[in-house]
Amino acid sequence: MNPPLRYAVFGHPISHSLSPQIHQDFARQFGIALEYTAIDAAPAGFEAAVRAFFAGGGHGANVTLPHKAAAYALADVRSLAAERAGTANVLTRLPDGRLAAHNTDGAGLVRDITERHRVDLRGHTALLLGAGGAARGVAWNLLEADVATLTIVNRSPAAADALADAIGDPARAHTRYWEDLAGIGSYDLIVNATSAGVLGQDLDLPFSLAGARALCYDLSYGPAAAGFLAWARAAGARYALDGLGMLVETAADAFELWHGKRPDTDPVYERLRGRH
């Protein structure tokens, strides 16, 4: 019998990751035997750890904070989504030994919102908080989901301007200053792509940002999303969602890329939601 195929998720820290459980759940749907481990790699040792994993027979890896930009940099070939974001959350060993980088964050976010939660984003006014790798990973997909406008706000205006310039659609994607949040009106969709929750910081957002039908979405999940979700509920948002569904959907994209089979994400999501 052939040994199970080897996969991993790289991060720092990584002990909290649900990815091993998610991929094992997906594999059981198809009777696939695989080995999926969580590997804690400090930034200075990330590239060496990844290369050692693939040299030792690894087939594919998911990548999370803080390594997505480094994963993109070390790849030999990159998908369009990865190139747009400048980051990668999936690495795959090609038959010739090269590494391919993908970014499935934006597709996973939009699919979670539109398919799982049945919210049509067409015509929505969207506010994107943050302009780093997480924001870049989802910005284009939000526009492709036909939001009417995408306003990017970041504590460092230069990063927000750079993202808007990269998008190149000034009629729809533009920036505002963080200091102006109290006076820029309300939005239908507010996406928190900052690292504030992960760092235990308070965003201190005005309640006026949340429109009557607002969907507030934190790309993090679990305790890291708690503060933003509490703000969203207090602001009267219609929906206050964390990124657990996005995590499951991005994992499904990676699984399909590696195995050629699309898993059923709903039972996995429901099982995890019952525990978090």
- Catalytic sites, residue numbers: 68
Contact 21, 14 (CB under 8 A): no
CA–CA dist 14, 65 (Å, integer): 9
Contacts of residue 219, defined as CB under 8 A and 6 or more positions apart, other chains included, come to 105, 109, 134, 138, 191, 192, 193, 243, 246
* Closest to 89 in 3D by CA, of 148, 138, 125: 138
Contact 62, 89 (CB under 8 A): yes
What residue has token string 């996406």? Answer: 191
